[in-house]
Chains A and B, each alone.
Chain A
Amino acid sequence: MKTALTLIFAVLIAAVVISGCVQQAATGGGGGQQLTAAEKEQQASQAVDQEIENAIGNITLENVENELLTQG
């Protein structure tokens, strides 16, 4: 009997803790939901950096020289 009661008590406490934490997270109670201007700038820089990586990648001076000579 005691075992059953203790188990039920423990499960109830666990359930309360879980629901409390989840609710806090869902309502933004954890903080950090707003981005600062610096954070936004950093995210934007990373997006541009990714573009450079995707479109240009590993360009060498030799590639550039050849291109410029061809275009010139």
Chain B
Amino acid sequence: MKKLMALAIAVLLIGITGAAVMADENVGSQTQLHAKIHTMGALGYGIATSQANSMDFELIKVGIASVSIKLQNETEELTNVGILYFGESRYVLKDVVIGNGTAAANIYLNGTQKGTISLNSYLKGDREIWAGTLTLDSAAYNAYVIQVPRIWKPAEKAEAIKDYCQNNPEKCKAAIKAVGGIICDPQEEGVSCADKIKTFCEQHPDDNRCKVVSWAYCKLHLEDANCRAQIIEKCKNNTNDTACDKLTNMYNKYVDKKLETLKNAPAWFKSVRERIKNRLPGEIDAEDGNGPAAPGGR
């Protein structure tokens, strides 16, 4: 009888252990998180120099982005956040504001605000440089950050394409039709057309239809470093695209305030800037990002 009891207890223990493992695995998959860069505002490295003492300087690395967070069964949420490395110290950036060529945030360490950072982007040569000010522990610094190139991941690009097609269904359809067959009929029941295009473009990022829609998205989203990089690449070879005007207008806001920043600006930028200056008031373009120009860059 004792043997039987021991056997029964052993079987029970095995059963409970198995259940615990299965439950753990199940909860793990339920809470699987997807954190994806939605808009990369600034990403780079540089130097912060003390405004009081030029010999007091520090290497900095900064990333400022809008990140989409999604639990398996929840709707996607965007969180603006950033990270600042000041020397070896790591700070979290909160209250982040990402604009067209601007980025600002408060600097936190362990939940306590330690300072602020405010950056504007400029063009120097073929590179985008962020310049601005940073306060940290009551000390004021000038900050210079070189924007680094990053790969615009197919999943992120597909999300941008979905955004564009959701907000501009007719223009999305027209842009796709201009370079090939339609990917889906917007009137179709069930899965949305934007979702179908997203899935298609995630799997076929080099398809011309996907490129043309991501280009249309970029014309409307100069706050996205991926888009600025794509437009800069395109403008090096073709300054006539309206995207070059838009980007030049964006950088011009700062160049007009500080003309010395025009020094070492790329040739395409100077050329477009001249063209814009000489344009008659009525000629301001009403381009909405749906032009048929082939996308360039990545």
Q: B59 touches which one: A11, A14, A61 (CB < 8 A)? A: A61
Q: A44 touches which one: B4, B22, B35, B71 (CB < 8 A)? A: B35
A16-49 toward B: CB 8 Å interface, digit per residue (1/0)? 0110111011101010111100001101111111
- Hey, which chain B residues are within 8 Å of A26, CB to CB? 26, 30
- Hey, which chain B residues are within 8 Å of A47, CB to CB? 35-37, 65, 67
Taking the complex as formed, is B20 at the interface, i.e. its CB lies under 8 A from any CB of chain A? yes
The contact sample of 9 A-B pairs, CB cut-off 8 A, is: A3-B7, A10-B11, A15-B15, A22-B23, A33-B30, A35-B69, A51-B150, A55-B148, A71-B146
Residues of B within 8 A of A (CB): 1, 4-5, 7-9, 11-12, 14-16, 18-20, 22-24, 26-27, 30-31, 33, 35-37, 40, 43-47, 59, 61-65, 67, 69, 71, 73-74, 77, 79, 81-83, 85, 90, 92, 94, 124-125, 127, 129, 144, 146, 148-150, 264
Question: A18, A20, A45: which has the most chain B beta carbons within 10 Å?
Answer: A45
Closest to B146 in A: A67
- Hey, which chain A residues are within 8 Å of B4, CB to CB? 2-3, 6
B261 to chain A, nearest CB (A): 12
Q: A21 touches which one: B5, B23, B43, B64 (CB < 8 A)? A: B23
Q: Is the interface of A mostly helix, strand, loop or mixed?
A: helix
Question: B31, B46, B67: which has the most chain A beta carbons within 10 Å?
Answer: B67
- Hey, which chain A residues are within 8 Å of B30, CB to CB? 25-26, 28, 33
Do the beta carbons of B22 and A21 come within 8 Å of each other?
A: yes
Closest to B10 in A: A10
